[in-house]
Amino acid sequence: MLAEMKFAVVSLRRQALLAAFTALAATACDKSGNSPDAATNDGKPRPAAQMIDCPNSVAAVITEVTLPNPPGGFAYSPNPAMIAKGKIVKFSLGPSHTAVSRKQYFDFREGERGCVIFNDPGTYDFFCIAHGFVGAIVVQ
């Protein structure tokens, strides 16, 4: 009987811890990955990063460059781009390159130019579909 009571107490503790952890995780992020304190003026959560119309000034401009070694190789520059939270990055790509976010925050196709605002700290990886080279934006 005592063993069954101990098992029941341990089981209840595990259930309570699981419930507390689940509640904490639910308040940390919603299903879209947006943080609840990152709200827009209309009260809706804002995404960690989103494409926007380009303003006159930006924190960084990302372009692609041709590498001398190996000849004909490509890379993004700067890489990684280091910016502060809430800053904007402009992508200015050549006619045969793309910049696609691994987490689908942005998708610039061949020759497109556009801007992304980064609302949350973290590392945002992206790549060129045509050539496979990768880049990153580190938001502090």
Model pLDDT for residues 72-83, shown as the tens digit of each residue? 788 999 999 999
The CATH classification number of 49-139 equals: 2.60.40.420
Dig out the tokens for 64 from the structure.
């692609």
pLDDT of residue 29: 40
Q: Decide: 102 and 126 in contact? Cβ < 8 Å.
A: yes
Q: Residue 44 — very low, low, confident or very high, per pLDDT cuts 50/70/90?
A: confident
Dig out the tokens for 9 from the structure.
């107490």
Dig out the tokens for 106 from the structure.
């942005």
Q: Residue 14 — very low, low, confident or very high, per pLDDT cuts 50/70/90?
A: very low
Buried b (16+ CB within 10 A) or exposed e, 103-116: eebbebeeeeebbb
Q: Residue 103 — very low, low, confident or very high, per pLDDT cuts 50/70/90?
A: very high
Which phi and psi angles does 5 have, rounded to 5°? -70, -40
Distance in angstroms (rounded) separating the CA atoms of residues 106 and 59: 17
